[in-house]
Structure 1
Amino acid sequence: MDVMFDTEIKSLLQTDPAAAAEKINTFIERQNNTPLNIAITGETGSGKSTFINYFQRMTNDDAGAAPTGVTETTIDVKEYPHPEYPNVKLWDFPGIGTTKFPADTYLELLGSRKFDFFIIISDTRFRENDVKLAKAIQKMKKKFYFVRSKIDNDLQAEARGKRNVNEQEILQKIRNDCIQGLQDEGFESPQVFLLSSFDLHLYDFPLLHETLERELPELMRHALLMTIPNINLEVIKKKKKALQAQIKYYAAGSAAGAAVPVPGLSFAVDIGIIVTAVTHFVVSFSLDIPSLKKLANTTGVPYDDLKKVILSPLAAVKITSELIMKVLSQLASVATLMAGEEVSRWIPIIGIPATMAFSFAGTYKALSHILNMLAEDAERVFKRALGLNSSE
């Protein structure tokens, strides 16, 4: 985050703690609620709705999932807010080129709303309508990404009746075929991402995520990271790093609350801030109950088996003040800091500044410890869901 912002917060904590608290709350709110609108387009049957569902950590049968089927199931542009982060929306477009939505009408529809980027999905070579779509998006000066879907089906078809199959050769052949077709249509250096919506951790989805990370503005990049499924251990590490960067602002908010000379209020503020932050951590790592149940449904690993590898008392439960206080009471260093916070407020002259310092340190230490526990749980759940050994 901008050094000037950090300097401003430090100055306000010394001169106007209430203003500092307001500015911190606005910053965290903006970070965690930045709108991100992703348009999913392509021809009928290309796998748009399935992609949306699995990106949203849903199965096709879940309530609220995008409808899927062998015939055209999307008859109008429909938004699908992320279940945990509704600021991130995936927009499902009808299949381009159908009788209900001929290409020209479709392109008008495309430009009628503001989208941050487009994903063009095809389950074969990219056809004429896909190219029209991409060129129209180019004219709007928006980013678009070609996704070749249903790669698992292609690999199964290639392997049928054969003893030795080189998966990488098949994937490269499909990729080259798609790229060549796009080059023939006038795209100089097209990049095509191969994926299976049922196995986002395989093939090119991690590469697609890395590409989006490079090309999106900072706040949108953060929004995407928090909502993306845990497709590999690297994503979990990135989430942890991003959440760790927020902890100093939660702690600064805690220090601002400590400046109010009311006995017991500072402790209550600290607990409230920690509850808010930990709830955010748990959801970001997909360790909340709904997310774990969805993971069980999509992977076939029983929910109870996923819960067995969780060691933190703060995952797969409702986060309450009572639970947070119970966890913190078991952390000697944090309990000491919080005790010092209340005692120091009665010291003449330096009491309030000391209380603020204790409050900052206690909240920072508590959240850092909890974040480490939850990140380790997320890694264990990921490995269990994919049937990996702990050493892999």
Structure 2
Amino acid sequence: YDVYNVEDSQAEEIKEALLNNDKSLAITKIKELLDKEKNTPLNIAITGESGSGKSTFVNAFRGMDNREEGAALTGVTETTSEVTAYPHPNYPKVTLWDLPGIGTTKFPADKYLECVGFEKFDFFIIVSADRFRENDVKLAQEIQRMEKKFYFVRSKIDNDLRAERRKRTFSEEETLRKMRENCIQGLRDLGVESPQVFLVSSFELHLYDFSLLHETLDRDLPAHKRHALLRAMPNISLEIIDKKKKTFKRRLYWLSALSAAVAAVPVPGLSIAVDIAVLVGAVTDYVFGFGLDIKSLQRLSASTGVPYADLRAVIVSPLAAVKISKELLLKVLSQIAGAATFMALEEVSRFIPIVGIPLAMVFSFTTTYRLLNFILNQLAEDAQKLLLLVLQKPPQRSHRTPIQTIPMLCCGIFLGSAPSSFQLIST
């Protein structure tokens, strides 16, 4: 239940409606549940002193090149003079807010939270390029007083490691350990109890502590916010792709239950029409979640130097890098063995006396579940292959502006597998 914040009362309401054959109520409740999950806002504040790399971090989190239209402005001096919202390109309900540097004339430390409107943020990430200073600590203490969460990110780790590598006795592991300990000790000396510090390179998110930062946020956020965060996370590891896949799979039950509830309505053609609409919405969600839409692939190509054609070459699913439409989906479904047959059986069975409607519901649930599961598995495999491909290639750096290595490649009751008698075979 925790993935979608499905409260027991919500689940029980849907179950009761289905058991009482209240199809209209069941459909309404399931749609409310799915819409709530999809439209949950998440507001992340990125703050710190000027020049700390806040804007670059915002762009990296969103999977965007610093030079791309819509990216946060970056530079060697303070470029953020106002509180600026940067919605995620694929999930606009997830917004990263680039906040002005603390301690500037316009945003003094003692009035900072009031000036930026702290109440709208779910949590704060305090960024520093070297060591955390008194203003950072004052901000953290004030955030804590306001009962909000905050996290320290030590940025530009790649620059520091590059300088340290010139030393004869260089050890990356030892250097990172010392950096982390120095930051933690510095914060303790300034009065922060048990500080959490994450070492991050905005140009190489798959390295160092960014994955640990995500795990920490995932643990600290309320259940209904965790899914919003996961959907927007860059695909920096196979583990994150697998988490997305598992989360999408948990949602399959409710999508299939919605299909079954509609199948109980004795209107010819209604169930198939609704099923296709459900499939289009779900598949579109998968494509964007795994970063397999055209825009995300173009960003991936630009930031890694891997030609777009090479990225497309490892993708198997015909539903990636295209606009998902009913016509395309019907064409793809026609190539999956058994799909058309079971959809036709659903339509025919509902006119059988007594047992027709229950049979139609079973066929509808099973068909929707198996089709989406098949498509989801294929798209997840494509995302994994893309990640492995780009990890094999050294990062491409511009002589003017660095870009990140790996951008965005991007319930309730789960009853287990659908009936095993229905198997899909890709042709």
TM-score, normalised relative to structure 1: 0.96
**Separation of aligned partners in 1, 2:243 and 2:41:** 20
**Separation of aligned partners in 2, 1:92 and 1:256:** 44
Q: Match for residue 387 of structure 2?
A: 382
Q: Match for residue 147 of structure 2?
A: 141
Q: Match for residue 177 of structure 1?
A: 182
The answer (yes or no) to whether the contact 2:83–2:116 under 8 Å persists in 1 is: no
Q: Match for residue 90 of structure 2?
A: 84
Q: Match for residue 326 of structure 2?
A: 321
Q: Match for residue 127 of structure 1?
A: 133
The superposition leaves residues 290-338 of structure 1 with CA deviations (integer Å, 9 ceiling, x where unpaired) of 1111111222212211111100111111111122112222222333321
2:300 paired with 1:286: no
1:297 aligned partner, one-letter code? A
Name which of structure 1's ranges 209-218 and 295-304 shifts more when overlaid on structure 2.
Answer: 295-304
Shift of residue 365, structure 1, vs aligned partner? 0.6
**Separation of aligned partners in 2, 1:27 and 1:298:** 37
Q: Match for residue 338 of structure 1?
A: 343
Q: Secondary structure at the match of 2:33?
A: helix
2:221 paired with 1:205: no
The superposition leaves residues 170-229 of structure 1 with CA deviations (integer Å, 9 ceiling, x where unpaired) of 111111110110010112211110000011111000000000111111110010000000
The superposition leaves residues 124-146 of structure 1 with CA deviations (integer Å, 9 ceiling, x where unpaired) of 11011111111110110111000
- In structure 2, stretches of 5+ residues that fail to align are 2-6, 394-427
Q: Match for residue 24 of structure 1?
A: 30
**Separation of aligned partners in 2, 1:3 and 1:245:** 16
Name which of structure 1's ranges 314-323 and 218-227 shifts more when overlaid on structure 2.
Answer: 314-323
Matches within 5 A, 1:174-323: 174-323=179-328
Q: Secondary structure at the match of 2:204?
A: coil
1:175 aligned partner, one-letter code? R
Shift of residue 7, structure 1, vs aligned partner? 4.2
- In structure 1, stretches of 5+ residues that fail to align are none
The answer (yes or no) to whether the contact 1:226–1:239 under 8 Å persists in 2 is: yes
1:224 aligned partner, one-letter code? L
Q: Match for residue 369 of structure 1?
A: 374
Q: Match for residue 68 of structure 2?
A: 62
The answer (yes or no) to whether the contact 1:287–1:378 under 8 Å persists in 2 is: yes
2:229 aligned partner, one-letter code? L
**Separation of aligned partners in 1, 2:168 and 2:297:** 38
2:136 paired with 1:106: no
Shift of residue 265, structure 1, vs aligned partner? 1.8
**Separation of aligned partners in 1, 2:216 and 2:69:** 31
List, as ranges, runs of 4+ consecutive aligned residues in structure 1 with deviation greater than 4 Å.
Answer: none
1:121 aligned partner, one-letter code? V
Shift of residue 164, structure 1, vs aligned partner? 4.9
CA RMSD for the aligned pairs?
A: 1.4
Shift of residue 258, structure 1, vs aligned partner? 1.3
1:338 aligned partner, one-letter code? M
User: Relative contact order (alpha carbons < 8 A, sep ≥ 6): 1 or 2 greater?
Assistant: 2
The answer (yes or no) to whether the contact 2:137–2:191 under 8 Å persists in 1 is: no
**Separation of aligned partners in 2, 1:234 and 1:350:** 44
Percent identity between matched residues is 63
Name which of structure 1's ranges 24-33 and 41-50 shifts more when overlaid on structure 2.
Answer: 24-33
2:161 to 135, 155, 159: 155
Q: Secondary structure at the match of 1:199?
A: coil
**Separation of aligned partners in 2, 1:303 and 1:104:** 49
2:9 paired with 1:9: no
Q: Match for residue 43 of structure 2?
A: 37
2:205 aligned partner, one-letter code? L
**Separation of aligned partners in 2, 1:65 and 1:174:** 29
